[in-house]
């Protein structure tokens, strides 16, 4: 009894400590805005990069990072434009892009996403209902703001099954969502409709529609160009080849992890997608 009670107390303490740490981590986060064109900005903080478009009659923002950062993000956008935020687009359902949805929705911002994003968010009991997308689409959607429109296009089964790439009007800028992790092994969410071949195909499809000068806001990493994105595609193709060769030689998934990739890919590993996790994704 006593042991059980102590265990419970330490579990509660651990939980409280974790929450406090999460909050103080947020307190340390600074939202930085970078202007990319007359009306387009990129905001970085913690989580997926945010895109901001200043339209004729309001601001369209792409992704919302975490709830605990909503006030700082609002303040950063208020410095860019005195117009109200009208629309928030989610590039996909992951928490580091959608946790802040409810905070903006409560201020009257419309949340727009692919229909699979709404389905996945609604299935998550912990997700604040007020942050659920109210406007959903399947293949493509134009978010009109006066005479111009932000174009959203869905790409099936890549990072997840609800990925959207965003084209900003009258500027050569796009937001790639998590189809783009800069110089890191990407997260391909196999449990949520993600697919390695689909990821490659989708990136190549987007790349065919942009040019060498296009500024690309990646889901994670700094502002990039097409050549940076191609480097990611080439890495995926080359590491997949290495893992497929091991599989054909009869190595099990664990044996492939133990053998590892060739040294040239070591710099692509990071705390979330380690070499082990990347090999397991490719093997599956």
Q: Which residues contribute to the site for Zn ion (CB under 5 A)? A: 94, 178
For Zn ion, the closer CB: 58 or 156: 156
CB of 49: closest distance to Zn ion in angstroms? 11
CB of 120: closest distance to Zn ion in angstroms? 11
For Zn ion, the closer CB: 167 or 180: 180
The residue to which tokens 């082990």 are assigned? 276
- Residues whose CB falls within 8 Å of the CB of residue 186, separated by 6 or more in sequence, listed in order: 159, 178, 179, 180, 199, 232, 236, 273
The residue to which tokens 């492939």 are assigned? 256
- Residues whose CB falls within 8 Å of the CB of residue 170, separated by 6 or more in sequence, listed in order: 37, 38, 39, 148
For Zn ion, the closer CB: 161 or 178: 178
For Zn ion, the closer CB: 99 or 178: 178
| Residues 178 and 142 sit within 8 Å (Cβ to Cβ) | no
For Zn ion, the closer CB: 94 or 120: 94
- Cα–Cα distance, 89 to 116 (Å, whole number): 14
CB of 178: closest distance to Zn ion in angstroms? 4
CB of 164: closest distance to Zn ion in angstroms? 12
CB of 45: closest distance to Zn ion in angstroms? 15
CB of 281: closest distance to Zn ion in angstroms? 13
Treating both helix axes as pointing N-terminal to C-terminal, what angle do 226-248 and 196-207 enclose, rounded to 10 degrees?
Answer: 150
The residue to which tokens 């990739």 are assigned? 261
| Residues 261 and 279 sit within 8 Å (Cβ to Cβ) | yes
CB of 10: closest distance to Zn ion in angstroms? 33
Helix count (H) and strand count (E) of the chain? 9, 12
Q: Cα torsion at 229, 234, 236, 239 (round to 10°)?
A: -150
* Token pair belonging to 188: 């391909």
- Cα–Cα distance, 41 to 81 (Å, whole number): 11
The three-class DSSP label of residue 157 is coil
């Amino acid at each position: 009894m006593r042991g059980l009670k102590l265990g419970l107390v330490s579990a509660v303490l651990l939980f409280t400590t974790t929450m406090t740490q999460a909050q103080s981590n947020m307190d340390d986060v600074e939202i930085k805005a970078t202007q990319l064109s007359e009306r387009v900005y990129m905001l970085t903080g913690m989580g997926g990069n945010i895109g901001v478009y200043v339209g004729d009659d309001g601001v369209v923002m792409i992704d919302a990072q975490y709830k605990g950062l909503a006030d700082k993000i609002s303040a950063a956008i208020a410095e860019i434009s005195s117009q109200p935020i009208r629309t928030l687009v989610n590039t996909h359902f992951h928490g580091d892009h959608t946790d802040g949805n409810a905070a903006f929705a409560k201020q009257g911002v419309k949340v727009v996403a692919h229909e699979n994003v709404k389905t996945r968010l609604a299935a998550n009991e912990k997700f604040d209902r007020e942050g659920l997308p109210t406007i959903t689409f399947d293949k493509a959607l134009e978010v009109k703001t006066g005479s111009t429109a932000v174009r959203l296009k869905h790409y099936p089964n890549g990072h997840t099954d609800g990925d959207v790439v965003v084209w900003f009007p009258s500027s050569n800028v796009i937001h790639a969502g998590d189809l783009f992790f800069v110089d890191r092994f990407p997260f391909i969410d196999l449990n949520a409709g993600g697919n390695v071949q689909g990821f490659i195909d989708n990136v190549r499809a987007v790349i065919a529609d942009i040019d060498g000068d296009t500024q690309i806001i990646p889901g994670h990493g700094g502002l990039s160009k097409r050549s940076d994105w191609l480097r990611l595609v080439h890495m995926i193709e080359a590491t997949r080849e290495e893992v497929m060769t091991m599989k054909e030689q009869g190595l099990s998934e664990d044996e492939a992890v133990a053998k590892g990739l060739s040294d040239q890919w070591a710099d692509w590993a990071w705390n979330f997608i380690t070499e082990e996790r990347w090999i397991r994704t490719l093997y599956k």
